A and B are shown apart, each in its own frame.
Chain A
Amino acid sequence: MYSGQIGSFSSRDLLLFFIMWEFELIPVYLLLSMWGGKKRLYSATKFILYTAGGSIFLLIGVLGIGLYGSNEPTLNFETLANQSYPVALERIFYIGFLIAFAVKSPIIPLHTWLPDTHGEAHYSTCMLLAGILLKMGAYGLVRINMELLPHAHSIFSPWLIIVGTIQIIYAASTSLGQRNLKKRIAYSSVSHMGFIIIGIGSITDTGLNGAILQIISHGFIGAALFFLAGTSYDRMRLVYLDEMGGMAISIPKIFTMFSILSMASLALPGMSGFVAELIVFFGIITSQKYFLMPKILITFVMAIGMILTPIYSLSMSRQMFYGYKPFNALSSYFFDSGPRELFVSISIFLPVIGIGIYPDFVLSLSGEKVETILYNYFYR
């Protein structure tokens, strides 16, 4: 699985990208179907069907791009990036790729596999899913849709932004209605994906940088949250939030880490999520593509999402940890997190706070690439 993921991130070739993309489905499917909750087969099947369905469009796009324009199929990114297409064809390609990536990094109508999968899977699978797999879609959006198809992207980007804002609000409010702990975190990660989409859609340096930062930071935060939820699930054996409560006394370390990370997830300054969201906001504000009123509206709605986020994440941690509940039978199972779990959560947490305090770690790396990508939009 790792080889599949690294392969798809590092491939410079469309065909290889596609093969790796398909290849990593297999281990995830196995992981999902072997370990997990009661409905794991349902969710695994759902996952594989969704992503395979998305892959068809990806294949169409890949073949179309590869076969267009020359007698020999070319699939290299760099030569493709300089190619231009007729507008209609570019749009068709764009839609094809968009659907494929929208399934992977769930964009709103195609997101339902995510909560089901996350709700059922074992927590280490969840960590991989949230941390890495979701990022492949966003990566593909940046890599293929923005880089290869710039004209179509500038046509579609307002729609992307609108979808992103709807997604932020929609997923955040859906998350409130969840009773299952993992599903709630899953919806929160759907909501955070909205920021990435908005950042990609606002064709600015700032916005794209923010999107990349958000990809990274959400990878860490989401994975860590799933990890902690999983570890506390191991102790509680309860999935539903309203049955929990009063765990803070028995497992203070997990409580501490969980509250820190839920703070990070609601974009507390000093953590990476805040920097990413702030930069995305600036990307929208400074974007020259849009008029004043839509900009105001979009930032307003995004900011409402900012209010909804603490409501669900704090009430989650409140329902889990706060309060008082006598544990009679269960008390023997209760022990605080050992050094291994502590090590994992701290080592995830360190980059989060590192990026939050000094974002140049990432920005200095990503800035250059972002400029070359955006170069296409303004000077061609």
Chain B
Amino acid sequence: MEHAYQYSGIIPFVPLPIPILIGIGLLLFPTATKNLRRMWAFPNILLLSIVMIFSVDLSIQQINGSSIYQYVWSWTINNDFSFEFGYFIDSLTSIMSILITTVGIFVLIYSDNYMSHDQGYLRFFAYMSLFNTSMLGLVTSSNLIQIYIFWELVGMCSYLLIGFWFTRPAAANACQKAFVTNRIGDFGLLLGILGFYWITGSFEFQDLFEIFNNLIYNNEVHFLFVTLCASLLFAGAVAKSAQFPLHVWLPDAMEGPTPISALIHAATMVAAGIFLVARLLPLFIVIPYIMNLISLIGIITVLLGATLALAQKDIKRGLAYSTMSQLGYMMLALGMGSYRAALFHLITHAYSKALLFLGSGSIIHSMEAVVGYSPEKSQNMVLMGGLRKHAPITQIAFLVGTLSLCGIPPLACFWSKDEILSDSWLYSPIFAIIAWSTAGLTAFYMFRIYLLTFEGHLNIHFQKYSGKKSSSFYSIKLWGKEEQKMINRNFRLFPLLTMNKNEKPYTIGGNVKKRALITNFAKKAFSYPHESDNTMLFPMLILVLFTLFVGAIAIPLNQEGMHLDILSKLLTPSINLLHKNSNDFEDSYQFLTNVTFSVSIACFGIFTAFLLYKPFYSSLLNLNLLNSFAKKGPKRIFLDKIIYVIYDWSYNRGYIDTFYSISLTKGIRGLAELTHFFDRRVIDGITNGVGITSFFVGESIKYVGGSRISFYLLLYSFYVLIFLLIYYFILL
């Protein structure tokens, strides 16, 4: 038993050899390494599964007797300062490491197929293992400095992976945006760490909490300063988990390959912020304003993410905003102090969202063959539809994920979300109302994505007909930018976004020929998207199982009259602000009412989505009905206006990106220009001025000199005269 703990320090370093080897191989022996190709994937997966077994073992031990184990060795020793490295195993760590490794393994298996035609296959796997290493390092780290180090490394991996297809300008911009936004968070994190170091003189979590509690107890710290430091620490979490003011990078991060979006931007890395807040919760709890701040940020993000997800065309962006909204739920739960619910939602959401992303990746993969290799086409939901017939297994998996995220009872997210929602009633009714209504919104936008993708007919073919017939019949309700040009408003059916025909196709590595072939093929005949390979379906199915049954870990197990479930066993020593008396599900009546309420809201959302985004052919049949709706009078027009405003807001991403780009980017550019100008004109100008004046002085002296002997004689006699005069005066 002890051995497992003793050697758990190697957890993060197990997957490390792979990126090192691949990196060296690619730099020094590129051809030999590239020939091996698929061979590299196997040790990758193998090492990660070793870690998974290891962490499962650890967590079983945590369940049996939840102890905190810490081991530390020093990194740098000096007289004044010493940094220590170590690992810190508790229930939180074990949960997170299981999560990372399981999702990681499935994503690796999946991406073996997904990326198999890409030139950067090996690079991809190297980055992935590096990411796994640093993420595992993050969750096992024992002090704040170590967290900061791995935090940055994770950010770097995400930067590399977003910019994986570096030939796309959009990806290049997105990865820089992600890195800089994260760096702003890191800035806060570093300052917060330094501030707390200044207050307590320690980085170790346990020492930190202890000293800090003592200080608070004795009222020895400056309150404002502490609050400032804590909110700075929280800023790090805000950036990493894409909370409200710093969320802008997450949707853009979808430029990366889809497995990356599944692993990093849905399941693990964005959960790092939640992890950090959960880890430091003992610290935050003693500072009351911080908890309010956390829950406020959480609720803003919940609402914002949900509204922004409403009108995204790109399937992955839609999912990204929904991720953001769900992360907001977790943050809200943490801010309310219900640690357990937040972590539970973290787990369930990670599995469901990874499933959704893998599903969308499978869709994109099959659509790519039909519409061409450009993210504007293959990820565009306008062109999808009717994929149910062509990709049935993907459809089932996606449906399960969608239902789970909507909070339909037997699936995973239902349990956790319900817990958060019922906790929010205890916290504050206003927050609760917002959270409830957002649950409805969640159901709405998730089903919008689902219906647009899988139901109806494949819209890409309709698009080709639509040139001949009148466009109104073949429009689909997707609120896009073209809405202003809309003619047939009374149908409340908006014209299809016309594809930009002369748009430059982006090439991915050496796939140019193949892509050209395929697009030609697609133009000749109506090719239908096909189901993905088994290697891609297998991890999706496993994740479906996870999504189905992960919720069970929190279902109370009635054993020996004790109402205890696995999760609360894991997290018993942790904090529960709201439930003072331990058993959450004691009051089964309250539970039941909550359940019915939340499920009904979710069903309402789903129903609305069905009404609006009904499969295309049926909406044709019901056109008269819709017409009659539309002609109901001025009230309808008003409603239309409201809807229009909402969708405009949502489509333009709440104008926040625009605001940032105007205020910050322009500001920084302006500053750069200003300093550049200052540097060039003023500081350099002084130097050059000195040079030029010395030049002129030299020239004038040369001119004065002129190499005429008479002039020299004149000068000489002049000076002699002056000296004589002075001498004369002094003598007088």
Contacts and interface: CB of A to CB of B under 8 A. Distances in A.
B166 A367 contact: no
Given A177-B672, A177-B673, A205 B80 contact: yes
Contact of A177 (B190, B198, B676): B676
A281 interface: yes
Interface stretch (B334-342, B598-606, B618-626, B683-691): B683-691
B502 interface: no
A246 B506 CA distance: 12
Contacts of A281: 190, 194
Contact of A323 (B169, B191, B225, B509): B169
B78 interface: yes
A310 interface: yes
Interface string A264-294: 0000111000100011011001100000100
A128 interface: no
Given A206-B81, A314-B179, A246 B167 contact: yes
Interface stretch (B147-155, B375-383, B416-424, B447-455): B147-155
A174 B77 contact: no
A248 B683 contact: no
A306 B190 contact: yes
Interface stretch (A75-83, A230-238, A296-304): A296-304
A143 interface: no
B621 to A, nearest CB: 46
B152 A318 contact: no
B687 A46 contact: yes
A268 B152 contact: yes
B33 to A, nearest CB: 12
Contacts of B169: 322-324
B172 A310 contact: no
Given A269-B153, A299-B191, A306-B183, A176 B669 contact: yes
B683 A112 contact: yes
B191 A311 contact: no
Contacts of A346: 27
A256 B27 contact: yes
Interface residues of A, number: 61
B672 A360 contact: no
B726 to A, nearest CB: 30
Contacts of B168: 323-324
Consensus secondary structure, chain A interface? helix
Given A246-B167, A307-B187, A359 B683 contact: no
Contacts of A367: 78-79
A315 B683 CA distance: 26
Contacts of B194: 281-282, 285, 299
B558 interface: no
B167 A323 contact: yes
A306 B189 CA distance: 12
Contacts of A111: 683
A105 interface: no
A321 B76 contact: no
A174 B78 contact: no
Contact of B668 (A173, A263, A270, A314): A173
B167 A176 contact: no
A363 interface: yes
B20 to A, nearest CB: 11
Contacts of B507: 324
Given A270-B153, A282-B197, 16 more contacts: A112-B684, A175-B672, A176-B669, A178-B676, A206-B81, A249-B167, A253-B27, A256-B26, A259-B160, A269-B149, A270-B149, A274-B149, A292-B225, A306-B187, A322-B166, A360-B76
24 contacts: A46-B687, A46-B691, A50-B687, A112-B687, A174-B672, A175-B672, A176-B669, A177-B677, A204-B80, A205-B79, A205-B81, A246-B167, A249-B509, A268-B152, A268-B156, A270-B153, A285-B197, A286-B80, A299-B194, A306-B187, A314-B176, A315-B176, A359-B76, A360-B76
Interchain residue pairs A-B with the least CB separation, the first 4: A177-B676, A322-B172, A176-B672, A269-B149
